[in-house]
Structures are given as structure tokens and as C-alpha cells.
Structure 1
Amino acid sequence: MIKLIGTGVWILVITLASVYFSLKMASAPKVDTEAAAREAAMEFVTGYTTTVPVISDGGVHGYLLTKLAYKANKELAAKQVVPLPQMITDELYTLLVGKKMIDVANTGSFDLDAFRGVVKEGLNRRFGADVIADVYVEQIDYITTASVQDPAPKKGVTLLKGEVPGGQQTEKSGGH
């Protein structure tokens, strides 16, 4: 009987000691105040749906419809003379028409990360500061001129469809 009580007391002492030392040795989680401050300085900007003509061989063969969203620095964005959505739309026209970032004939060669990087870099260069922190792709579609003229047969292709923060999910390649 004494051995049973002794064993119980021994187990109790060991358990209490281990809990005490565990709590004593556990450090409080370190809060990255710089990261929290950077995140607080950001705002989410939803871009417009931008329709860019695909021009080749002297004519319009279709249209790229893009919808992007951005994480931007609030203070730097407020200092811009031209509003953010309009500047972003202009930069998209420059990228998609002037530099032909998306080759509709060969959609498999499209590099989403490079596209995001070029958009971010181009916008920040035009703003003269690091206004844009992240670029999110909601959707990129290609619609042929035939489908615009005769909307009954669907001849458009979804090149890319993604979801924008809420859960900050990643983009997925799309079908039709």
C-alpha cells in the first residue's frame, strides 16, 4: 500500500515538475514588428478588366481580357498624381501590346511568375518608387474576333484563372 502511494506521489511530482519546466522554458512567440508594420502599410487594389486587342498581320485577330489585382503601399499610392487603376491599365496596354508578353498562338510558353514580375517592375518604374508589392492574376482570357462578331459559338479560351486574396490562393491553369 505504501509502495502504491509512493509511486502515485512520485508520478505526480514528475508530472508537475515537467509541466513547470516546460512552461518556464517555453519562450513567448516572437512578433516580427517590422513585417506587421509593412503589412499594415499595404492596401489591396482591384484592377479593372482590361481588354487588349491582339494585332498581327495588319489586323485584329482577337482580344485579351485581363483582370489583375495588386497589393500596394498606401502612402506611396496616395502620393501618385495619376490614380493607381488608370496607371495600371496603361502599363498593361504597354506590356500586352507593345512587348507582347502573351503569345496567343503558343499559350504553353506563358510564364506567370515572369508576367507578374514584369508588371510589378514596370509599374514601380513608372511610379518612381516601390508602390506595388504583389500582383495577383484573377483571370486572363482570349476571345477571337469571330466570337465577338457571332457570340453564339463560344470561341474564347480561358488562358488563366486565379483567385485573389481572401485566402491568397494560387492561380490555376484554365481550360474553357
Structure 2
Amino acid sequence: MIRTVLIGLWICVVALGSLFLAVRGHMPASEENEQQRSYLGGIDYVKTDVFSVPIMTDSSVAGYIVAQLVYTIDSKMKTRLTVPLEYFIKDEIFRQFYGSYSDTRQVEKVDFETVRKSVIDGINRHFPEPVVHDLLVEQFNYISAKEIREMNLKAAGGT
């Protein structure tokens, strides 16, 4: 009889222990962990279309910057925007490069980290709270006008 009671108590202790651990595992995390979880879970990565910016030297087109970028935006903020954010990104990149270089060798040595920070700051300046959290490079190339002419000549001669 004592053996049966001890087995019954043992089963009750194991059941209560399991219940305690299950409830404790589902308790809300601390506020800091909750903010981090909502931040990481609420970020969208949006890819821009491929776009180009002409590089002008001596009043003529010396080449093009061809870019495709990925930006991170808060999911809640994305739903509140009425104008696509891609327009602001293209505008900021265009302002950075159009008419800013007198020598194409300068363009080929661009420090993208400086450009990235400047573009993020320029976009966020248009809004009351920061919208873009990060800007990542999918594609960022400089193609000279000479290379484009050669590609066009090959394409025209090959058909």
C-alpha cells in the first residue's frame, strides 16, 4: 500500500514538474528580448529594379553606374507609406553621382560605405522617423560609354 502511494506521489510530482516547465517555457520573454524579436521578425527586405545613372564628364556621357540595391524597412512602416520608397532611393543615388565626377577613375574607386550611409540619411531625412534601416548591394557597376558602344557594335554586326 505504501508502495502504491509513493508511486502515485511520484506521478503527481512528475506531472506537476512537467506542467511547471511547460508554462514557464511559454511565459513572455523580457522586454529587451521581445523588442529584438519583433525587430527581426518585422523587417522586410525589398529589392529595387535595376537602374542606371549617367556619369557626365566634359558635357558628355562618359559611362553609367548600373545598380540594383536591397533595402530593409520595418513591415509596419512599409504599409503606412503611400509613395514607393524605391523612388527616394533612386533619387538619392542619382544626386550622389550625376555631375559629381570630372574623372571616371574617381567613379571606379567609390567607397560604397560612404554612399550607403549618405543615401540612408538622405531618405530618412524625408520622414519623421527612420524608414530605411540598411542598404545592401545586389549589383553596383560602372560601365563606360566605350564599352556600351562596343557591345552595340557586336550586337549589330552579329545579326
Which TM-score tier does this pair reach, normalised by the shorter chain?
A: 0.5 to 0.7
Q: Match for 1:150: what amino acid?
A: E
**Aligned equivalents of 1:32, 1:56: Cα separation in 2:** 52
> Please, which runs of 5 or more residues in structure 1 have no aligned partner?
1-27, 155-176
**Per-residue CA distance 1:112-148 (angstroms, 9 max, x = gap):** 2212111111111123321111110112111111222
Q: Normalising by structure 1, report the TM-score.
A: 0.61
Tell me the secondary structure at the aligned position of residue 126 of structure 1. Answer: coil
Tell me the secondary structure at the aligned position of residue 51 of structure 1. Answer: strand
> Please, which runs of 5 or more residues in structure 2 have no aligned partner?
1-24, 155-159
Matching residue of 1:70 = 71
Contact 1:68 1:136 in 2 (8 A): yes
Matches within 5 A, 1:22-61: 32-61=33-62
Q: CA deviation at 1:91?
A: 2.1
Report how many aligned residue pairs link the two structures. 125
Q: Which has the higher helix share?
A: 2
- Two-structure CA RMSD over aligned residues (Å): 2.8
Q: 1:153 to 1:107 in 2, by over 3 A?
A: farther
Q: 1:106 to 1:87 in 2, by over 3 A?
A: closer
Q: CA deviation at 1:81?
A: 2.4
Contact 2:50 2:67 in 1 (8 A): yes
Q: CA deviation at 1:152?
A: 6.8
Tell me the secondary structure at the aligned position of residue 130 of structure 2. Answer: coil
Matches within 5 A, 1:9-158: 32-97=33-98, 100=100, 104-106=104-106, 109-151=109-151
**Aligned equivalents of 1:149, 1:108: Cα separation in 2:** 19
Identity %, equivalent residues: 26
Q: Normalising by structure 2, report the TM-score.
A: 0.67
Larger Rg: 2
Higher relative contact order at CA 8 Å, sep ≥6: structure 1 or structure 2?
2
Tell me the secondary structure at the aligned position of residue 48 of structure 1. Answer: coil
Q: CA deviation at 1:105?
A: 1.1
Contact 1:76 1:129 in 2 (8 A): no
**Aligned equivalents of 2:131, 2:125: Cα separation in 1:** 9
**Aligned equivalents of 1:110, 1:146: Cα separation in 2:** 20
Q: CA deviation at 1:34?
A: 1.2
